[in-house]
Amino acid sequence: MATTDIGPPDYKEMLPEVIAKNYGKWKYHEDIKPGVLKHVSETGDEAFTVRCGSPRLVSVDLIRDLCDIADKYCDGHFRFTSRYNPEFITPNKDNIEPIIAAIEKIGLPVGGTGRGISNMIHTQGWIHCHGAATDASGVVKAIMDEMYDYFVGKKTLPQKLRISLACCLNMCGAIHATDLAVVGVHTRVPTIDHEHMTVLCELPTTQASCPTGAIRKHPDPNIKSVTVNDDKCMYCGNCFTVCPAMPIAHAEGDGIAIYVGGKVSNARKAPMFSRLVIPYIPNNPPRWPEVTSVLKNIVEVYASNAHPFERVGEWIERVGWERFFKLTGIPFVEQNIDDFELARDTLRTTTQFKW
């Protein structure tokens, strides 16, 4: 009989000494330099953190390399952040530079703190998921190569800027509230494999899966299958999630949409959803140059227009979306206008707007 339900290891065992000792006693922190934080405790203790980037999809060897660094400088402990970044914590200021050197030696960039761009939250993409409308790791690599200077602190921004990616509308990164969201999208109606429908799928579940009610029973009672009303289908792929007999991926139709201006922190403004600015960019592996260049443009326009400490969404809401489209030169198209369930609240019910 297998052991079950033992749960994860107790975190207390995992804490570095300086952390265990000063747990709950931290007083303030300072940004020492890009990638390096100093936290000061009420006990007078100091903890220095060195953060670095990671591709997230890693070999066990890379993790072992990280362990080596931790063993050498951090009493055998390290952690990851909520955005996949390894962090090395030490009470010893003199360890900072050696840790940085060790990190750089294994090919990782030190950075990701402060007013710049941290690592991208992302998902599986073509590496592992059956539903992916675009790749994840490949696109992320292309984007982060472009944004590198903002990670390592060579360039800074008015405030933190988060980029996230999900390879389909399931949005596994929950990236619906992020400064820049990159989302894989289908744009073709699913095809239907009537032959395997009943073997592979439960018809009522399949019908219920459709947000717009586009899926109906097949009109021919002899065919135990469904039909899709093309006019109502907006290619969300939710039917495919529950029913493999409705494949939706399409080499020419699949691609990427860009959403902008979300945030989750409650600082200054309440959390905001990201908003669709570019409905479709075709997949263009291995470097998705159209995607990287629109993101670069948005980041630069933000950098030169926002007030200090203003997140992307705060800036846009202050100046207005009409101004955002003007400044970035992104064309406004019918897809930008909501027509789903809460659409009405997005319509501009005032004469107040900018030209």
Under the binding rule (CB under 8 A), the answer on residue 352 touching a copy of itself is yes
- CA angle (283, 289, 295) in 5-degree steps: 100
Task: Please choose which of ligand SRM, ligand SF4, a copy of itself, none residue 248 contacts, taking the beta carbon within 5 to 8 angstroms, the exact cut-off set by kind.
Answer: ligand SF4
**Distance (Å, rounded) from C-alpha 42 to C-alpha 21?**
11
Rounded distance between C-alpha atoms, residue 308 and residue 61, angstroms = 41
124 binds ligand SRM (CB under 6 A): yes
Q: Of residues 283-342, which lie at the interface with a copy of itself (CB under 8 A)?
A: 341-342
209 is an interface residue for ligand SF4 by CB under 6 A? yes
Nearer to another protein, 30 or 220 (CB): 30
100 binds ligand SF4 (CB under 6 A): no
**Per-residue x/- track, 228-247, ligand SF4 (CB under 6 A):** x----xxxxxxx--------
- Measured from the Cβ of residue 174, the count of other Cβ atoms closer than 10 Å reads 13
The interface with ligand SF4 within residues 136-175 (CB under 6 A) comprises: 166-168, 170-172
Mark 202-236 as b/e (b = at least 16 C-beta within 10 Å).
Answer: ebeebbebbeeebbeeeeeeeeebbebeeeebbbb
Task: Give the nearest distance from C-beta 188 to ligand SF4 in angstroms.
Answer: 9
Site for ligand SRM in 249-268 (CB under 6 A): 263-265, 267
Q: How far is the CB of 96 from another protein (least distance, A)?
A: 16
Residue 53 contacts by C-beta under 8 Å, 6 or more apart in sequence?
85, 108, 109, 110, 111, 112, 119, 144, 151
How many residues touch ligand SF4 under the rule CB under 6 A: the total is 27
Interface residues for a copy of itself in 252-271 (CB under 8 A)?
A: 266, 270-271
Closer Cβ to ligand SRM, 93 or 224, answer by number: 93
Question: Does 67 participate in binding ligand SRM (rule CB under 6 A)?
Answer: no
Q: How far is CA 100 from CA 53, 58, 307, in A?
A: 12, 20, 32
Q: How far is CA 162 from CA 4, 18, 95, 262, 311, in A?
A: 38, 29, 29, 9, 10
Report the site for ligand SRM in 5-64 (rule: CB under 6 A): 29, 37
106 is written with which tokens? 């294994």
C-beta of residue 307 within 8 angstroms of C-beta of residue 158: yes
Contacts of residue 354, Cβ cutoff 8 Å, sequence gap at least 6: 320, 322, 323
Whole-number minimum distance, CB 190 to ligand SF4, in Å? 5
123 near ligand SF4, judged by CB under 6 A: yes
User: How far apart are alpha carbons 74 and 242 in whole angstroms?
Assistant: 46
Rank residues 63 and 129 by Cβ distance to ligand SF4 and give the closer one: 129
Assess 118 for contact with ligand SF4 (CB under 6 A): no
CA angle 300, 306, 308 (to 5 degrees): 115
Residues that bind ligand SF4 (CB under 6 A): 123-124, 129, 131-132, 166-168, 170-172, 190, 209-212, 214-215, 228, 233-239, 248
